[in-house]
Amino acid sequence: MKTKSVFFYSIIALVFSACSNAQNSKEPWAENQLMQPSELAKILNDSASTKPILFSVFSGGIKNSIDLGPASEKEGIENLKKQLSKLPKDTNIVIYCGCCPFKDCPNIRPAFKLLNEMKFTNHKLLNLSHNFKVDWIDKGYPMNE
């Protein structure tokens, strides 16, 4: 009986692991392509650092970001495509949204997929896991004036 229990729990663990890996692989970005808000804020506050091109795929707010509109809508994704077509493929780019919890955001995935499809090589996604207010504004990070 003990052998059956061990086997059963082993199968359950494998199923959960496979589901977790499958969910992670659905995202168009790799873990190392997520940028923490504190990291971006530090870069923006350091006058000596090289600044990335910042694209907001919902509505702007971060200092020096370019507001393109929602990437879940045709106009927003076309705005992003137009901006990207002017840039070298190795441009340092950070995109962000923050409209809602990261896992539910309708804008970041289409935008990041477009960057991948257009063969950009140095792009990141700002990891606003809750929303823009909680993860950026409430922390006093740099904003457009």
Q: Which of 13-27, 36-50, 74-88, 111-125 has the lowest mean pLDDT?
A: 13-27
Nearby residues of 134 by Cβ (< 8 Å), 6 or more positions away: none
* Phi, psi values for residue 57, rounded to 5°: -105, 30
Q: What is the CATH number of domain 27-139?
A: 3.40.250.10
- In what helix (H) or strand (E) does residue 123 lie, and over which residues does it extend? strand 123-126
Query: By the 8 A CB rule, do 92 and 86 touch?
Result: no
Nearby residues of 141 by Cβ (< 8 Å), 6 or more positions away: 37, 38, 40, 41, 44, 62
**What is the C-alpha to C-alpha distance for residues 60 and 115, in angstroms, rounded to an integer?**
19
Domain segments of the chain as ranges: 27-139
* Side chain identity, residue 104: D
Q: What is the largest CA-CA distance in the chain?
A: 68
**What is the C-alpha to C-alpha distance for residues 75 and 61, in angstroms, rounded to an integer?**
19
Q: pLDDT of 19-77, one tens digit each?
A: 444 345 589 899 999 999 999 999 999 999 999 999 999 977 999 999 999 999 999 99
Residue 111 has pLDDT above 70, yes or no: yes
Residue with tokens 């804020």: 41
**What is the C-alpha to C-alpha distance for residues 13 and 131, in angstroms, rounded to an integer?**
32
